Amino acid sequence: MLAKKRSRRFTRNAGNGSPSAAPLTLLWRFTWRIVLLFLIAVTLLQLWFFACVWYWSVYNPGSTAFMRMRLERVREEQPHIGIRYTWVPYKRISAHLKRAVVAAEDAKFFEHDGFDWDGIRKAYEKNIREGEVVAGGSTITQQLAKNLFLSADRAWWRKAQEAAITVMIELLMDKRRILELYLNVIEWGDSVFGAEAAARYHYGVSAAELGPAQAARLAAMVPTPRRYTPGKHTAYLDRRAATILARMNAVRVP
C-alpha cells in the first residue's frame, strides 16, 4: 500500500512539472493576451485612419487635428478667440500659389509615392552635422498626414503613424486632391488656416487673386507661419521668397 501511494504521488508530481511552472505559464498567457489586445487596438486604429482618409478623398474636412490643437492652446489665454479657416475648391486657388508651395516644400511632389528618400537622407546628414534637428525632409503628403490627424510632437511613434497614414493618402488620393487638401488646411499665421484665410489675412485678396510675388512670400512662411503678421518683412523671408519665385516657372501643377 505504501509503495502504491508513493507511486501515485510521484505520478502527480511528474505530470504537474516543477512548482514554478504554473506561475510562469500564467505570466506567459497574461503577456500574450496583452500583446494580442494591443495588436487588435492598433489594427482598429489603422482601420479608422483608413476610413477617414477614404472619406476625405471625396469630402472636405471641417477641421483637422492640428487646428483643434492650436485652438485649444490659444483659448487657454484668450477663451473667446477662434480660428480663421475658409475652405475653397482647387479651382479657386491661384496657380501661382500652387507652384510656389510645391517649389518651396516638395519639388519632387509628382515623382514620389509619399516619401522623398533622397530628401530624407540629406536632412539626416544635415541634422548630424548640426548636432540637432534642423531639417525634416517631409513631403507635402507627410505634412498633410500630420495636419489631418496628428500633433507636432517628434516622438518616434508619431513618425511611424505619420508614415502609415502617408501610404494610405497616396493609395486613396491623386496628387490633385492631396495638394487641394494641403493648401486648405496648413497654417499661415497665428490661427490662420488655408489659402483663402491666408490671402485675406496677409494681402486682403482672395486665394484666386494672389500674384506670383505674393504667392512666393506665402510659401516662404509655411515652415514658421506664426512668426509673420501682415506686412512683416525680414531679410530671410525676402531671400527665401525670391528663391521660390525664381523656381516657380519650372514647377507643374495638376
Q: Rounded CA gap, 61 and 12, in Å?
A: 66
Grid cell listed for 161: 503613424
Q: Rounded CA gap, 92 and 197, in Å?
A: 13
Over residues 133-173, the pLDDT tens digits come to: 545 678 999 999 999 998 766 667 788 899 999 999 999 99
- Residue 51: how many other CB atoms lie within 10 Å: 11
pLDDT of residue 10: 46
Q: Please, where are the H alpha helices in the chain?
A: 2-16, 21-56, 65-77, 95-105, 117-130, 140-149, 156-172, 175-185, 195-203, 212-221, 235-247
Residues sharing a CB contact under 8 Å with residue 164, sequence separation 6 or more, in sequence order: 46, 49
pLDDT of residue 135: 55
* 206 contacts 200 by C-beta, under 8 angstroms: yes
Q: Rounded CA gap, 180 and 142, in Å?
A: 14
Residue 102 to residues 17, 97, 137, 215, 223, Cα–Cα distance (Å): 67, 9, 14, 11, 13
- List the domain boundaries for the chain: 20-56, 57-250
How does pLDDT run along the chain (254 residues), one tens digit per residue? 445 554 554 444 444 555 566 777 877 887 888 888 989 999 999 999 999 999 999 999 999 999 998 888 888 877 777 889 999 999 999 999 999 999 999 989 998 888 888 877 776 677 676 665 545 678 999 999 999 998 766 667 788 899 999 999 999 999 999 999 999 999 998 889 999 999 999 999 999 999 999 999 999 999 999 899 888 889 999 999 999 999 998 998 88
* 208 contacts 198 by C-beta, under 8 angstroms: no
Residue from 167, 183, 162, 30 nearest 92 by CA = 183
- Collapsing DSSP states into helix, strand and coil, what is residue 112? coil
pLDDT of residue 83: 87
Residue from 142, 149, 147 nearest 166 by CA = 142
> How large is the angle between the packed helices 140-149 and 65-77, nearest 10 degrees?
60
CATH number of 57-250: 1.10.3810.10
b/e burial code for range 218-240 (CB count within 10 A of at least 16 → b)? bbbbbeebeebeeeeeeeebeeb
